[in-house]
Chain A
Amino acid sequence: MMKLSPDTSRRGFLTLVAAAALLAGCKPSGGSGSGGDAAGGGASTIVVGEFASLTGTEATFGKSSHEGTLLAIEELNKAGGLLGKQFSLITEDNRSTAGESVTIVKKFISRDHVVAVLGEVASGRSMEAAPVCQQAGIPMVSPSSTNPKVTEIGDYIFRVCFIDPFQGKLLADFATKTLKAKKVALLSDVSSAYSDGLGRFFREGFTAGGGEIISEQKYTSKDKDFKAQLTAIKAASPDAIFVPGYYTEAGLIVAQARQLGITLPIFGGDGWEAPELIQIAGGEALANTYYSTHYSPESSDARVQTFVKAFQARFNGETPDAMAALGYDSAMVLADAMKRAGTTDGAKVRDALAATKDYPCVTGKTTLDAARNASKAAVIITVKDGKFKYLETIQP
């Protein structure tokens, strides 16, 4: 049929009009929905965009990190803001899925005109967003992405946490010295840049120290059954098992290992730190497990204790975990750089961030090196009677 009947063409036109009206109607409401008064350079507030995994498999991390950031922004505003302006934080959820963060950050930059971006915990998703920030010349500070590739993306990308080569090496030392392990089995998540990277750096450090990786098994995030891999690991009879993954899978792995009668020490990295780990695996199964992380709320340091008290007062008595502390630090380091730069201009803030030296963070004194990474101490946590317990601090 070549010719449209007058009836259908009119209907088509009406639909178009309706669609246009809808679009027009959406625009103003969408703009104010984001919460910040974002009107470009001469704005009355300093608009900072934060992308986070508020729901999904790493929701605990995203929520903690976001609460830390929020607390920092609120404290900064209470202290009078910066450069005569108040901060305004826009937060968007990427649902712990790949592909969302790019869209969010693009929207932050083009629609909300943010002056800086904060995020996120998972290295894979930070690596998605970083090229967008780099291209737009907007400084991005990741609170807790530990994969080295994140800041390699460009000179506008920073982080306030230690990186996986350091974490992998310290875990290798821990396995050799504290656990007295000579043969370690590795069970890593192939679908996660964090897990894969940390596993590799651990192997480098561990084999360099004379240890042996006796069995290497893989899984994919969202897997539920690890008994097959664990049975193969058990048959190789290692001294300990290293699981560089996130807490959802790590909890299931520990529980299933104990079900198979594996009583060996099992240890992991900072991806383990969430109360869900204990809920999923159960306190009993977690006996003889360890992980490394960025700070311990049990520390006697005055800065840590002030932060813990402020956090508990703000969020119904919740004790802040490492992700919350790093979320807090990321906002504070950014604000400090803006203060030293005396402006929110992207390039100047970038230079100020790069010059950050011995800034007193909750997670320890932070200096950003030439590769825009923080070097700082790590702590080892163990689980005793169903509770996380501080074991030791390891200096870089």
Chain B
Amino acid sequence: MTELLQQLINGLSLGAIYALIALGYTMVYGVLRFINFAHSDVFMIGSYVGFYLAPKLGAGSVLGGLAVLFSAMAACALLGVIIEKLAYKPLRNRSTLTVLITAIGVSLLLQNGGQKLFGPNPRAFPKLFPETQLHFGELTVSSNQLIVLAVSIFLLVMLWWIVHRTRIGTAMRALSFNATAASLVGINNDAVISFTFALGSALAGAGGILYAMNYPSIDPLMGTLPGLKAFVAAVLGGIGNLPGAALGGLLIGLVETFISGTRASTFRDAIAFAILILILLFRPAGLLGKMRVEKV
């Protein structure tokens, strides 16, 4: 029982990070209908920003840690907007396939640029927050796991508030519903798209910091696997659907953790992806996605 609860905590804190990254995929898909493959590398850049800023911003205290977290988010938001302006905006009215291939190009650029700039070797990520272990009977929860959960929940609530309670959020939803109609009623589509990228990339940056905090070894290719898992989470939840992405992320994290804890640990990814295939067989639009007829 204790083991089960402990695995639940482990799985939730891993899943929360997947959820943060998955949201970025799903948001961009919502407004532009393409998968931003460079997203997982923005996640990597986020952790490197943290790596370089941590000594300068006094990491190790609560305030310093938060400062690092928010600067990494800001840097990633900026990077997201730059990527959108330089790589995707010139292709706005081209087929999504063209944009998709460009996204893969940007991803490779960031990965290889990162290897050149940061060096290809794994680096040890510094401690951001004071660390303690809390014991509840047999259960052990590290303060890092709590921080991951708290920050993720805070960001999810903030995101929900922005999307549903602000003018720009309403504009995002309008754009996702029908881009032409949105521009006809006076929405500046370009500004909204930039904002979406900023928001999604900031979440990826936060994910990068939280991931590096829990698994303190970072390298320029670190984004690939979590990025893939988060993408799967977004599809699992129903791509384009925000609560779906969060749910998908948590599910993937939990499934992975529970399988790793058994004898079948080597088949972890295989089983996780098999579950994905099963779910998509029965619910092709994902758990919370709605089937939409493609208009031709």
User: What residues make up the interface of A, taking CB atoms closer than 8 Å to B?
Assistant: 55-57, 59-60, 95, 190, 216-220, 222, 224-229, 231-232, 234-235, 248, 251-252, 255, 259-261, 276, 279-280, 282
- Residues of chain B within 8 A (CB-CB) of A228 are 7, 10-11, 256-261, 265
CB distance from B207 to the nearest CB of A (A): 13
Q: Decide: B140 and A261 in contact? CB cutoff 8 A.
A: yes
B140 touches A260 (CB 8 A): yes
**In the complex, given contacts A56-B120, A220-B266, A227-B14, what are 9 additional A-B residue pairs having Cβ atoms less than 8 angstroms apart?**
A59-B120, A95-B120, A217-B265, A218-B265, A219-B260, A225-B215, A225-B256, A232-B261, A259-B133
Q: In the bound complex, do residue B266 and residue A190 qualify as a contact, i.e. CB atoms below 8 Å apart?
A: yes
State whether B215 touches A224 (Cβ < 8 A).
yes
* Interface residue B2 (Cβ < 8 Å from any Cβ of A): yes
With the chains together, A283 CA to B236 CA distance in Å?
Answer: 41
- Residue with the greatest number of chain B CB neighbours at <10 A, chosen from A60, A95, A227, A255: A227
A234 to B266, CA, bound (A): 19
B residues at A contact (CB < 8 Å): 2-3, 6-7, 10-11, 14, 119-122, 124, 127, 131, 133, 135, 140, 142, 144-145, 211, 214-217, 219, 222, 225, 256-263, 265-266
User: Are A227's CB and B217's CB within 8 A?
Assistant: no
Chain B residues near A55 (CB-CB < 8 A):
119-121
How far is B268's CA from A222's CA once the two chains are assembled, in angstroms?
A: 14
Q: Report yes or no: B6 in contact with A222, Cβ–Cβ below 8 A.
A: no
Given contact pairs A219-B265, A251-B217, A235 touches B3 in the complex (Cβ within 8 A): yes
Ordered by A's residue number, 16 sampled pairs between the chains whose C-beta atoms are within 8 Å are A60-B121, A190-B266, A218-B266, A224-B215, A224-B222, A225-B14, A226-B260, A228-B7, A229-B261, A231-B3, A232-B3, A232-B261, A251-B124, A260-B142, A261-B133, A282-B127
- Determine the distance from Cα of A228 to Cα of B216 in the docked complex, in whole angstroms: 17
Known contacts being A218-B266, A229-B261, A279-B124, is A260 close to B6, with CB within 8 Å?
yes
**Cβ contact within 8 Å between B3 and A225:** no
Contacts of A235 in B (CB 8 A): 2-3
Q: Are B140 and A259 in contact, with the CB atoms below 8 A?
A: yes
Contact of B10 among A217, A220, A231 (CB under 8 A): A231
CA A332 – CA B256 in complex, angstroms?
A: 48
Across-interface contacts of B265 in A (CB, < 8 A)? 217-219, 228-229
Cβ of A261 and Cβ of B135 under 8 Å apart? yes
Q: How far is the CA of A234 from the CA of B257 in the complex (A)?
A: 15
Closest chain B residue to A277 by CB distance?
B124
B135: chain A residues within 8 A (beta carbon): 261
Contact A224 B217 (CB under 8 A): yes
> Which of chain A's residues have a CB closer than 8 A to the CB of B217?
224, 248, 251-252, 276, 280
Closest 8 CB pairs of A and B: A228-B260, A279-B124, A224-B215, A261-B140, A259-B142, A228-B261, A227-B10, A55-B120
CB distance from B1 to the nearest CB of A (A): 10
- Residue in B closest to A233 when the chains form the complex, CB atoms: B261
Question: With A and B bound together, what is the CA distance between A277 and B3 in angstroms?
Answer: 28
Docked complex Cα distance between A95 and B219 (Å) = 13
Decide: A231 near B6, CB < 8 A? Known: A190-B266, A218-B265, A222-B225: yes
Task: Please give, as numbers and ranges, the residues of chain A lying within 8 Å of B144 by CB-CB distance.
Answer: 259
Cβ contact within 8 Å between A57 and B260: no
Taking a contact as CB atoms under 8 Å apart, the answer to whether A56 and B121 are in contact is yes
Instruction: Tell me the complex Cα distance, A323–B140, Å.
Output: 37
* CA of A260 to CA of B142, assembled, Å: 7
Query: What are the residues of chain A within 8 A of B145 when measuring CB–CB?
Result: 259
With a CB–CB cut-off of 8 A, which chain B residues contact A261? 133, 135, 140
Q: How far is the CB of B291 from chain A (nearest CB, A)?
A: 34
Contacting pair A280 B124 (CB below 8 A) = yes
Q: Please measure, in the bound complex, the distance between the C-alpha atom of A280 and the C-alpha atom of B214, giving whole angstroms.
A: 11
- Which residues on B sit within 8 Å (CB–CB) of A276? 122, 124, 217
A220 to B122, CA, bound (A): 16
Provide the residues of chain B in CB contact with A255, threshold 8 Å.
216
Alpha-carbon separation in the docked complex, A216 to B211 (Å): 26
Contacts of A234 in B (CB 8 A): 3, 6
In Å, the complex CA distance between A235 and B11 comes to: 17
Residues of A within 8 A of B131 (CB): 259
User: How distant is the Cα of A235 from the Cα of B222 in the complex, in angstroms?
Assistant: 30
B18 → chain A closest CB, angstroms: 11
A225-B260, A232-B262, A259-B133 as given contacts; A252 in contact with B216, CB under 8 Å: yes
Q: B266 — which chain A residues lie within 8 A by C-beta?
A: 190, 218, 220
The answer to whether A252 and B215 have CB atoms under 8 Å apart is yes
Q: How far is the CA of A220 from the CA of B142 in the complex (A)?
A: 24
Q: Taking the nearest CB of chain A, how far is it from the CB of B274, in angstroms? A: 17
